Amino acid sequence: MLTTMSAWCAYPLNYEVSMTLGGGKGEFAPYYISSLRHGKISQQYNAQIEGIVWKPLDAGSRFSYGFGIDLIGGYASNVEYGRYDSQTGWYKHSVNPSTGWIQQLYGEIKYRSIHIEAGLKEYESALLNQRLTSGDLIESGNARPIPQVRIGLIDFQDIPFTSGWVQIQGEVGYGKYTDFGWIENHYSYYNDAIEKGEWYNYKRCYFRTNPSKPFSITLGMQAVAQFGGTQKYYYKGELTRTQTYPVKFNTFFKMLIPTQDGGEGFYTGDHIGAWDIRTRYKLKNGDKLYAYCSWLWTDGSGIGKLNGWDGLWGLEYKAGRCGFITGALVEYFDYTNQSGPIHYAPGDHPGGTLNDHASGSDNYYNNGFHRSYANYGMSIGSPAFMAPIYNINGFPAFVANMMRGVHVGVEGSVTKSLTYRIKGGYRKAWGTGAVILPAPLHSTSVMVEGEWIVKEIPGLKVSGQMAIDRGTMPCNAFGVMATVKYDGIFNIK
């Protein structure tokens, strides 16, 4: 009885402490070292200490709660960005990341299948293999978290009257950007616009056939919206216009079902989403084969798949047991159609005589009324798109979203305590539908990673990465990085 009571009084908490050191050549860290790390690494030189404490949800309980806090501190090298002054002209100024910040701080509760969480929390792809993919198109885990509130189903749930053959999963969230200080420090103040106080909305709905069968398919849509805020327009260093987009109670509902208002480019808010399809076939030996695609859209033409082959296409293998190769995938992505280079909607021009409709010029991740789809300069969607942080001329948008590329990833075990991961790919971009670059940008990137699990000290792991970029997206780079990590559980009596 005393033993049982002692167990009831124990309060287990998970913790993890890590130290990371990295450096190399180039203005920024190599592509595969910085991507899909929740915005933690971007510079040429980095020294970080990170500490995490969290209580996970108990999936087996009817009611459960959890929370977490994640703190990061350290040093990162600076990069010189261009800035313009109407009196003195162009000049350079140095910018580097903060010496410390709160990466995560959240609380969450679960009752039956309903899940609610609030705060700063890292999210990754809901569909793709996070360790090997080039990145989810909508929510990839590439940028720092956005403070928000989310509610949804904790996992896939059987739909009534389908006898378990069809399941559903989905969630909705609202948040607000907090990176205006970062934007002010990196912006050139020459042209285009910067935004402050914008809101963020995420929603997802997936359907899945019975996963216990050899063949299963998951399909659905995820979408985001950026709305509200104040936009300041500059032209040759002079502030020319300030535009505020009011947020009312019904504005939050307009983000769930886009509503025509004739103001912000025909619809309220900037809407971005993807149709997602993933099929899985399980072999008798436990191995799994996947085929998947994700079709990016920004308006009705993309939703109706009028943007050709634009999207992410992939094949994946996952072993059912440990071995030299435990997983591998190959992906092809193409974003060069964008529903054509011309867009004209009669509703955008009241009183006009032209009635024809041309729904094109999608300009992925960019919008004329709201911020580009990035947080603290890093792409919230796929990191394959060269994000604003890499525009050392201080331009605040994606300049090369007309892009094609291939990506491969392989991982496995050399021994029981030594694992490896390899990622590589090639990208080529021509600019945007409105502004073609004088010369295409391109990059060939490779990364090799090894991790050693120190069995003599339970919870201790040592990992190293070496990566190289060759090309102009954004530059040649070489880097190495080492991480020492220790995790465990301690009980509060």
Q: If you average pLDDT over every residue of the chain, what do you get?
A: 93
pLDDT at 125: 97
Radius of gyration of the chain (CA): 23
Segment 443-447 shows an average pLDDT of 98
- Backbone φ and ψ for 390, nearest 5 degrees, come out as -90, 0
Segment 206-233 shows an average pLDDT of 97
pLDDT at 265: 65
pLDDT at 261: 72
Segment 125-143 shows an average pLDDT of 97
Segment 31-46 shows an average pLDDT of 97
Q: List all residues 6 or more positions away from 295 whose beta carbon is below 8 Å from its beta carbon.
A: 274, 275, 276, 302, 305, 307, 310, 311
* Residue 4's pLDDT band (cuts 50, 70, 90): very low
User: Is the separation of the CB atoms in 166 and 398 below 8 Å?
Assistant: no
* Residue 7's pLDDT band (cuts 50, 70, 90): very low
DSSP letters, 315-354, are: EEEE-SS-SS-SEEEEEEEE-S-TT-S--B-GGGSTT-S-
- Alpha-carbon distance of 76 to 90, in angstroms, equals 25
Residues 98-127: pLDDT tens digits?
999 999 999 999 999 999 999 999 999 999
Residues 453-472: pLDDT tens digits?
999 999 999 999 999 999 99
- Which pTM was predicted? 0.94
Q: Is the pLDDT of residue 200 over 60?
A: yes
Kindly report each contact of residues 340-344 with a partner whose C-beta sits within 8 Å and lies 24 or more positions away, as own/partner: 340/433, 341/433, 341/434
Residues 80-91: pLDDT tens digits?
999 999 889 999
pLDDT at 154: 93
SS3 219: strand
